[in-house]
Amino acid sequence: MATITLGGNPIHTNGNLPAVGSQAPDFKLIKTNLGAVSLADFSHKKKLLNIVPSLDTGICAISTKRFNDHAKNHADAVILVVSADLPFAAGRFCTAEGIENVHTLSMMCDRRFAEDYGVLIVDGPLAGISARAVVVLDADNRVIYTELVPEIKQEPNYEAALLALA
């Protein structure tokens, strides 16, 4: 269990992020077209998982746009934005914001992804959705970088995440 804050108030996750050097847990998440994807769908590429509570919040939108801008010129890696949002809402967000270079993925079918990655918030007003985190995987799905953002209202460390992805 990890402690993070929401507006300075402590809340907790169900566990900890996967350890650097470990094999990333596989997942089944839902794309905006309602198709399911897993890690195998992005094989042989480095992956940055931008885990956010909801694209319908300012910081989540900012981080998605920032990683989308990076992805424009880096086809050697894939950016996955994982949230509790319905795929329809994620699709509307991407259309409205011109997001074309990242994959928005939903945990709408179950919260196993959040549980397996240790980011499921278990108490407080956001219980049941994910904390803000970044996990970078190599092409073989080994964890090479993690960040659990200590305050949900803060942005992740973009420079460190993108350096790990490079």
User: Where in the sequence numbering do the catalytic residues fall?
Assistant: 60
| Domain hosting residue 139, numbered range | 3-165
Is the confidence at residue 34, as pLDDT, over 90? yes
| DSSP letters for the chain | --EEEETTEEEEBSS-PPPTTSBPPP--EE-TTS-EE-GGGGTTSEEEEEE-S-TTSHHHHHHHHHHHHHHTT-TTEEEEEEESS-HHHHHHHHHHHT--SSEEEE--S-SHHHHHTT-BB-SSTTTTSBPPEEEEE-TT-BEEEEEE-SBTTS---HHHHHHHH-
State the pLDDT at residue 73.
85
Span 111-138, pLDDT tens digits: 899 999 999 999 999 999 999 999 999 9
Domain count within the chain = 1
Q: How confident is the model at residue 95 (pLDDT cuts 50, 70, 90)?
A: confident
CATH of the domain at 74: 3.40.30.10
Span 39-82, pLDDT tens digits: 999 988 999 999 999 988 888 888 999 999 888 888 888 999 99
**Which pTM value belongs to this model?**
0.93
Calculate mean pLDDT across residues 151-164: 94
Q: How confident is the model at residue 156 (pLDDT cuts 50, 70, 90)?
A: very high
